[in-house]
Structure 1
């Protein structure tokens, strides 16, 4: 979405993202591409270098960039040729970054006009009220943003979640076309969605876990909250049409059954794309709908997980939804080990990519993946990209729909704008 006032439009028309996401057929989406973009080669124009681990980038206005680095800083650029400045340094309130902990997500409020609010997701020390054998605290906070500076003293903590183990922290945050904030939460870490901090669920073939639980904690889910609301119980509001409001379960949850949802984004048609890092066999990207159960740890991708047979529905008969895009860790063609979610391309500079979902895998050096939706589902191909450091960590999108890619490795971390070679 490129229009910051979209929420006002939706409110006036009575629409919500729940009615947009996942309810539009390919026949009704004009310009749906066919085939694969054969022969296309991509390249990257460097926007920012010297950031060790850039994990998120926001462009709230043309040529105004904010880059979140896992080490705990946000860099600001006013124009592609400008020198970066430090918008904020949060290292004094974080645990030591490393592995999957750190500053993990950034989203600027849609009403931003040069000043406004920004939302940062980071890993903090364990709070006293949390179990002493847990690893750290998931923190989502609101800050004031003005003239390229984020005021560290303005922090308003919205959400804290006890993280039982050090990994599977997810971290993506993004505003939907409805103006609500969507928050990706991993399953709490460890292997197989089991071990310390993993609850008993309805599925007995594999012990645990948080991905299939909607009542005990918020782990293994995508949350949807109203940062402009709030009251005595919470510093944020819960949309009335969240799927578990008035039902058994935690009201913030929008969809569940995730392992480590690493990056999420909204397409120009309102659909929510969530990439979920797999355990040992498959990586997946899901087109997420309200109340959807995406299978973990009953399934890893489409196949059953650690079982020869498994159910295709949850405890109330709801379907365990299959991924839109899936690829193996070992096999012919598209392979990898850790999916990096991207965007449904909506720009003008690379016509062959329009309407296609562009993403990556952490180990796919010199390649981006491009998925094309057709009558029989999604087909995926790899496209070469030059001039970009190995180990892609994240993508970004400009207001015009052009792609940015964040990577680490090689000579250091950097952010590039994607173009044709």
Structure 2
């Protein structure tokens, strides 16, 4: 879906599964679920998104999905590539009043579409009613990113992949004239369209797109805002050697360069067949808080799935911990941030396996209106992290 001895200074290892933490099955039978979440205004329900283009509302008491989908745009969505599809959803801060929400998907042909929909009844959506507010080409089928959400500032953030292939062949992530490999920030408060957000870091810079607020991303597969601090977390998938987690304190993301393709993880990007592609640390470089190398060991993996800082109340042992995972080596970890560094690393993989089963392909984490966390498994089920 995106794509390991750890070399982070000061990291404390604890591979012992944490007591008192587990999972329970919420619902099953979804087709490649890749996102789960809920608007802040709606408790007792979650929204589950299927990669092919359908979104379902699930009642948390019964575990049953609604009879009709919340959104179904399957005929509009490209799914020829494994990483293409309906990839992200964000509810407007005033969703309870306006019914507005935004999705990120690949249309037929592969181009990325950011589309605003309005639900009239909060239960269903006319699939032909969407307004495309932003779009951009995808030169390859992979590295589409797909995450979008509203920040504490009420602006819509979009994290884009570098356009695909391998090693960002056109160095698009460092190109301020391209929307690829970027963190975009849009003002969507108007009745139609959008405006580049006021204060965007590269507004007015010659040759730069005014929507860009930060750059140097490879394939950000799941980002999140800490509900308590506003800190911005990114799980950015690596190339052949390193996976990384970035955190920006207080969401001071403006103008930052996360390094790709000059840097992979926190090192100079390794070349291929003698070809040099990496480089020196760039200006305004923001180094990852945590990296892990490729492999199948307990602290290794192949494709990071970014998560959330837990701010719920049902699992006190996880309070303030950032929960994340690896997709291909299905392990679930957590850490704390202190002084800009990662600390108190823990492996929860064993504890979070469901009774009589196994979480095999961790495609996404999600948060409900109460701050409780969920896990989507690409094979079909959705789990809730609980105290046990």
Report the TM-score range of the alignment, normalised by the length of the smaller protein. Answer: 0.7 to 0.9
SS in 2 for 1:290: coil
Aligned to 2:336: 372
- 1:312 lines up with 2:281 in the alignment: yes
Question: Corresponding residue for 2:244?
Answer: 284
8 Å Cα contact 1:325-1:371 kept in structure 2: no
Q: C-alpha separation between the residues in 1 aligned to 2:297 and 2:372? A: 30
- List per-residue Cα deviations over 1:89-124 (Å, max 9, x = no partner): 111112235400011001111111176111111111
Mean CA deviation greater in 387-396 or 160-169: 387-396
Task: Flag structure 1 segments of 5+ consecutive residues without an equivalent.
Answer: 1-33, 127-135, 199-208
> 8 Å contact 2:310–2:372 — kept in the other structure?
yes
Given that 1:211 and 1:259 are in contact with CA atoms closer than 8 Å, whether structure 2 keeps it comes out as yes
CA displacement at 1:43 relative to structure 2? 2.2
What's the counterpart of residue 176 of structure 1?
Answer: 151
Return the match for 2:24 from 45, 48, 62.
Answer: 45
- Counterpart-to-counterpart distance in 2, 1:82 and 1:355: 27
Matched, 1:355 2:314: no
Equivalent of 1:185 in 136, 160, 165 = 160
Name which structure has the greater RCO, CA cutoff 8 Å, separation 6+: 2
Are 1:72 and 2:53 an aligned pair? yes
CA distance in 1, matches of 2:337, 2:298: 18
- Choose the corresponding residue for 1:163, options 138, 143, 155: 138
Check whether the contact 1:52–1:414 (CA below 8 A) recurs between aligned residues.
no
Taking the aligned partners of 2:103 and 2:128, their CA distance within structure 1 comes to 14
Alignment-derived partner of residue 346 in structure 1:
311
Task: Name the counterpart of 1:28.
Answer: none
In the TM superposition, what is the alpha-carbon distance from 1:39 to its structure 2 partner? 4.7
What is the aligned-residue RMSD (CA, Å)?
2.1
Change (3 A) 1:359 1:107: same
Match of 1:14 in 2: none
Output aligned runs, 1:383-398, within 5 Å.
Answer: 383=348, 384=350, 385-387=352-354, 389-398=359-368
2: distance between equivalents of 1:162 and 1:35? 42
CA 1:38–1:114: 2 relative to 1, 3 Å: farther
Per-residue deviation at 1:333?
Answer: 4.3
Q: Quote the residue 1:212 is aligned against.
A: 174
Offset of residue 301 of structure 1? 0.7
Q: Give the Å deviation of 1:331.
A: 7.9
Using the alignment, how far apart are the partners of 2:131 and 2:244 within structure 1? 34
Other structure's SS at 1:312 match: coil
* Cα distance per residue 1:127-155 (max 9 Å; x no partner): xxxxxxxxx21011011123311221221
Give distance in 2, aligned partners of 1:163 and 1:39. 41
Q: Distance in 1 between the 2:284 and 2:34 partners?
A: 32
Q: Is the 8 A contact 1:35 1:372 kept in 2?
A: no
Q: 2: distance between equivalents of 1:90 and 1:323? A: 36
Compute the TM-score of the two structures, normalised by the length of structure 2: 0.86
The answer to whether 1:142 aligns with 2:116 is yes
1:240 aligns with 2:240: no
Query: What SS is found at the alignment partner of 2:162?
Result: coil
Q: Secondary structure at the match of 2:130?
A: strand
* Contact 1:67–1:74 (8 Å) recurs in 2: yes
1:94 lines up with 2:61 in the alignment: no
Shift of 1:281: 0.5
Contact 1:65 1:78 in 2 (8 A): yes
Q: What does 1:394-405 correspond to in 2, within 5 Å?
A: 394-405=364-375
The CA distance in 2 between the partners of 1:220 and 1:142, in whole Å, is: 22
Residue 349 (structure 1) shift: 1.5
| SS in structure 2 of the partner of residue 386 of structure 1 | coil
Q: Which residue of 2 aligns with 1:120?
A: 103
Distance 2:229 2:294 in 1: 30
Shift of 1:375: 4.4
> In the alignment, is residue 415 of structure 1 matched against residue 382 of structure 2?
yes
Can you give the 5+ residue segments of structure 2 that lack an aligned partner in the other structure? Answer: 1-11
Question: How many Å apart are 1:63 and its aligned residue?
Answer: 1.2
Alignment partners' CA distance in 2, 1:392 and 1:124: 24
Count of matched residue positions in the alignment of Structure 1 and Structure 2: 354
The structure-2 alpha-carbon separation of the partners of 1:334 and 1:68, relative to structure 1 and needing over 3 Å to count, comes to: same
**8 Å Cα contact 1:329/1:337 also seen in 2:** yes
Change (3 A) 1:212 1:376: closer
* Equivalent residue number for residue 5 of structure 2: none
Q: TM-score, normalised by structure 1?
A: 0.79
Does structure 1 residue 226 correspond to structure 2 residue 180? Answer: no
Secondary structure at the counterpart of residue 163 of structure 1: coil
| Match in the other structure for 2:9 | none
